Amino acid sequence: MKLWQKDSSIDQLIERFTIGQDNVLDLELAQYDVLGSMAHAKMLHKIGILTAEELAQLISALEDIQMTIRSGHFKIEEGVEDIHSQVEFILTEKLGDVGKKIHAGRSRNDQVLLDLKLYYRDKIDQILELMESLAHVFVQQSDSYQQYLMPGYTHMQVGMVSSFGMWYGSFAEAIVDDIRSLRDIRKIINQNPLGSAAGYGNSFPLDREETTRLLDFDDLCYNSMYAQFTRGKTELILSNSLSSISYTLNKFAMDVCLYCGQNHGFIKLPAELTTGSSIMPHKKNPDVFELIRAKSSQLMALPTQIMMITHNLISGYHRDFQQLKEVLFPAIHQIIDVLQITLHCVPHIMPQQDLLVEDKYLYLYSVEEVNRLVQAGTSFRDAYLLVKDQIADGSFRPEKTLKHTHLGSLGNLANEQILAKLL
């Protein structure tokens, strides 16, 4: 059954191609389509399109569908194009002419926009919850290992003294900024498109404020044409945020893979987080972090995929938008999966103490020595040249007492201030 069905039949190859994965992916939208239909029906009653009895019948039938969805037994039947068609088919089969009234004042265009916004809103909330937990875990690790020194690198060369406290804290603050960005994107997404119909409104006296209230939106997409314009734009801004989160996770995973190797030995992973080799009995491979790295790399390409689907389209609806679900839905599941496994693994990483006693890390203290001389009265440039000459002739013997006090330094990580950004 198709909501647009005419008297003529459609080529079966064309039908399969145009439906694509909608009858599979739309199962994720089922609960939201029912919620939207409930709100729409209540609004139709308010403006006099539905009687109180008709509304009661529709709400009861929609509640039955919702129970079927929650039980896991709901399906989109063979030959039914999408979730919108399936829900209306059930309502019509059960209620007859009353079921046929549910579509008054809306189009599949604003239906799918609504379903997607409700779906994205829920998934964003799930992602935000994981990210907030991860930010707190990073801060806990930062506080716990503040005194564990490690090399800080520039150009992949040892540069200055760092610490595991600073390392963990850097990812905490990165995640916090990703959270703040995603929160803003949630506000943009959480605007009601229902009532825009096919993108140009309609002649029913729709009460769009009512459906906005019923569905707990922050605001409306007021302009009907802009409501349709958000298809693709919504996915793009969300994909950019997911890409930014992935950038953070990718860098962390790469650090772990590098630091746990024998050539560095900065951290150890417990055996239960590693895998072995079929030929090398000594191997403890960081497969989980390699997969976090690979999966986050995939997600960093997401905005490009979204742009390539939508970049040459004029205003109005196009079937091209269907492909956005096939790209973005799996990506949302993947970022949730990556966040969950990262959150699970981070507390089990074991930083190592006394790393900087080795001679190869001696020059990490060169800047400390320059700064010590400056504070004793030497000009910075003269102090720099003096230390440079000591390094060159092999006489460099720095003091290793660290005196870092400013905000964000080794001795003052400002973790409380970082978490305060979440408030």
Say if residue 291 is in the same domain as residue 338.
yes
Say if residue 171 is in the same domain as residue 265.
yes
Is 240 within a domain?
A: yes
262: Cβ–Cβ under 8 A, 6 or more apart, which residues?
none
Point out the least confidently predicted range of 13-17, 31-35, 303-307.
Answer: 13-17
Number of domains in the chain: 2
User: 286 and 256 in contact (C-beta within 8 Å)?
Assistant: yes
CA angle 119, 122, 126 (to 5 degrees): 135
Would you state the pLDDT for residue 14?
67
Say if residue 98 is in the same domain as residue 24.
yes
Is 400 within a domain?
A: no
Mean pLDDT, to the nearest integer, of 181-209?
Answer: 97
Active site residue 155: yes
For residue 295, the 8-state DSSP code is: H
How far is 120 from 29, CA to CA, in rounded Å? 10
Is 364 within a domain?
A: no
More confident residue, 307 or 81: 307
Say if residue 139 is in the same domain as residue 188.
yes
Would you state the pLDDT for residue 78?
85
pLDDT digits (tens, 9 = 90+) for 308-356: 999 999 999 999 999 999 999 999 999 999 999 999 999 999 999 999 9
User: What's the mean per-residue pLDDT of the chain?
Assistant: 94
Distances (CA, A) of 327 to 238, 303, 321: 12, 10, 10
How far is 288 from 260, CA to CA, in rounded Å? 13
Task: Among 320, 335, 355, identify where a domain stops.
Answer: 355
User: 135 and 419 in contact (C-beta within 8 Å)?
Assistant: yes
Confidence at 278, pLDDT banded by 50, 70, 90:
confident
Is 76 within a domain?
A: yes
How far is 139 from 118, CA to CA, in rounded Å? 32
Of 339, 340, 342, the C-alpha closest to 288 is: 342
Would you state the pLDDT for residue 7?
54
**DSSP assignment of 313-381:** --SS--GGGHHHHHHHHHHHHHHHHHHHHHHHHGGG-EEPS-GGGSGGGGGGGHHHHHHHHHHTT--HH
Is 55 within a domain?
A: yes
Is 314 within a domain?
A: yes
Say if residue 238 is in the same domain as residue 141.
yes
Say if residue 161 is in the same domain as residue 93.
no
User: 51 and 45 in contact (C-beta within 8 Å)?
Assistant: yes
How far is 110 from 122, CA to CA, in rounded Å? 18
Say if residue 46 is in the same domain as residue 185.
no
Would you state the pLDDT for residue 265?
94
Q: Find the distance separating the first CA and the last CA of the chain, reported in whole Å.
A: 49
Where b means 16+ CB within 10 Å and e means fewer, 129-146 reads ebbeebbbbbbebbeebb
Say if residue 274 is in the same domain as residue 330.
yes
CATH classification of the domain holding 344: 1.20.200.10
Task: Among 104, 127, 154, identify where a domain stops.
Answer: 104
* Percent share of the chain, pLDDT over 90: 90
Report CA Rg, the chain: 29
CATH classification of the domain holding 95: 1.10.275.10
User: 245 and 178 in contact (C-beta within 8 Å)?
Assistant: yes
The domain of 37 spans: 12-104
Residue 115 corresponds to which tokens in the numbers above? Answer: 């379903």
Is 125 within a domain?
A: yes
User: 3 and 87 in contact (C-beta within 8 Å)?
Assistant: no
Catalytic residue among 73, 155, 282, 406: 155
Say if residue 90 is in the same domain as residue 136.
no
How far is 148 from 356, CA to CA, in rounded Å? 10
Residue type, 309: I
Say if residue 185 is in the same domain as residue 281.
yes
Task: Among 292, 327, 355, identify where a domain stops.
Answer: 355
Point out the least confidently predicted range of 2-6, 110-114, 122-126, 194-198.
Answer: 2-6
Confidence at 20, pLDDT banded by 50, 70, 90:
low
Active site residue 333: no
Would you state the pLDDT for residue 79?
81
Does residue 102 carry a pLDDT above 90?
yes
Residue type, 244: S
Say if residue 188 is in the same domain as residue 267.
yes
Cβ atoms within 10 Å, residue 344: 12
Of 244, 242, 252, 260, the C-alpha closest to 342 is: 252
Judged on CB neighbours under 10 Å (0-12, 13-18, 19+), 358 is: exposed
pLDDT digits (tens, 9 = 90+) for 370-406: 999 999 999 999 999 999 999 999 999 999 999 999 9
Is 144 within a domain?
A: yes
Say if residue 271 is in the same domain as residue 320.
yes
pLDDT digits (tens, 9 = 90+) for 200-250: 999 999 999 999 999 999 999 999 999 999 999 999 999 999 999 999 999
Judged on CB neighbours under 10 Å (0-12, 13-18, 19+), 59 is: middle
Catalytic residue among 60, 277, 315, 379: 277
Would you state the pLDDT for residue 313?
93
Would you state the pLDDT for residue 4?
43
Does residue 21 carry a pLDDT above 80?
no
Does residue 185 carry a pLDDT above 50?
yes
Would you state the pLDDT for residue 277?
80
